[in-house]
Amino acid sequence: MPAQPAEEAAPAIERTLADSPREARSGAAGDPAVPFLAFPVVDDQRHLLGVVDVELYTDKATQLDEGRVRDDLFQLLGVPADGARDRSPLGSFRRRFPWLGCNLGAGILAAFLSSAYKDELNRVLALAFFIPVVLNLAESVSSQSVSLALQVLHGQPPSWKMIPGRLADELATGLMLGLAAGAAVGLIWLRQARVALCLLGGICGGVAGAAMLGTALPFVLRLLRLEPRVAAGPIALAGANVITILLYFNLARWLLR
């Protein structure tokens, strides 16, 4: 078929695109802002050579975005994404143990902090029963906040000015999550009202603090030109443990004296 001038072929392309069931048009006809699903390819004489489907670009962008999400997930778990192809046990150990070492250090620190409150634990044994629940809730929310912050960093460069607003939003979300989770756990132990209040306050404060920490760390690390995917996860989990333990036991010391 002989090549056609682009000016003559444009109406045919317009009709083809308009008949496409996939097209989502907005605005008036002729509006340059109206999106098309294909672009004409012309030569130097402006003869139409063919069209390029825009899905070729959108599919590729989607694949790249999915790849970034997958890499973030692997990094938060402490395993580099390219490490899945390495079957060497020693290589896997070298990549994975540093992240586990951070968790190990955080757990030992939490144990030492807990030992400082042995009088409260001896007086009310029920406090010890709920330590795993209190810590796990804070760690979970911290991981969620880190993941959300990393997604935001993919879309825009961070600045120091945007951090306070992000922290305020995350504080409100963390307080609501903490109140809901703390109330659910506290209802289990209503027979000891003060212990229930310790659970409510410890979970609420720990979750809110963990949410703010998980949000702030990726932004701060990126602004300091460090890799937030690698460092934010372990630091946020360790910080969430420390914040939650201190809030939980200091509240217990105050309420149960």
What are the DSSP calls for 70-82, one per residue?
HHHHHHHTT--GG
Gap between the Cα atoms of 174 and 132, Å rounded: 19
pTM over cut 0.75: no
Instruction: Give the pLDDT of residue 61.
Output: 46
In this predicted model, what pLDDT tens digit does every residue of 51-87 receive, in sequence order? 766 565 555 444 445 545 555 554 555 555 555 566 6
With a CB cutoff of 8 Å and minimum separation 6, the contacts of 227 are 221
For all residues of the chain together, what is the average pLDDT? 75
Instruction: Give the pLDDT of residue 114.
Output: 86
Tell whether the model's pLDDT for residue 21 goes beyond 50: no
Question: Looking at domain 98-255, what is its CATH homologous superfamily?
Answer: SLC41 divalent cation transporters, integral membrane domain (1.10.357.20)
Of 101, 132, 128, give the one whose Cα is nearest residue 206.
132
Burial class (CB in 10 A: 0-12, 13-18, 19+), 217: buried
**Tokens read off for 63:** 């694949």
Instruction: Give the pLDDT of residue 204.
Output: 94
Region 210-237 average pLDDT: 83
Tell whether the model's pLDDT for residue 11 goes beyond 70: no
Gap between the Cα atoms of 257 and 247, Å rounded: 15
**39 - beta bridge partners?**
52
Gap between the Cα atoms of 101 and 104, Å rounded: 5
Higher pLDDT, 54 or 23: 54
Lowest-confidence segment of 4-8, 141-145, 175-179, 240-244 by average pLDDT: 4-8
Tell whether the model's pLDDT for residue 97 goes beyond 70: yes
Of 219, 214, 210, give the one whose Cα is nearest residue 175.
210
Of 164, 118, 131, 100, give the one whose Cα is nearest residue 245.
131
| φ/ψ (deg, to 5) at 184 | -65, -40
In this predicted model, what pLDDT tens digit does every residue of 123-172 receive, in sequence order? 888 888 889 899 999 989 998 898 888 888 876 788 899 899 999 999 99
Percent of the chain with pLDDT over 70: 67
Gap between the Cα atoms of 27 and 29, Å rounded: 7
The 3-state DSSP class for residue 47 equals strand
As annotated, the residues of the chain forming the CATH 1.10.357.20 domain(s) are 98-255
In this predicted model, what pLDDT tens digit does every residue of 24-48 receive, in sequence order? 444 444 444 445 566 677 777 777 7
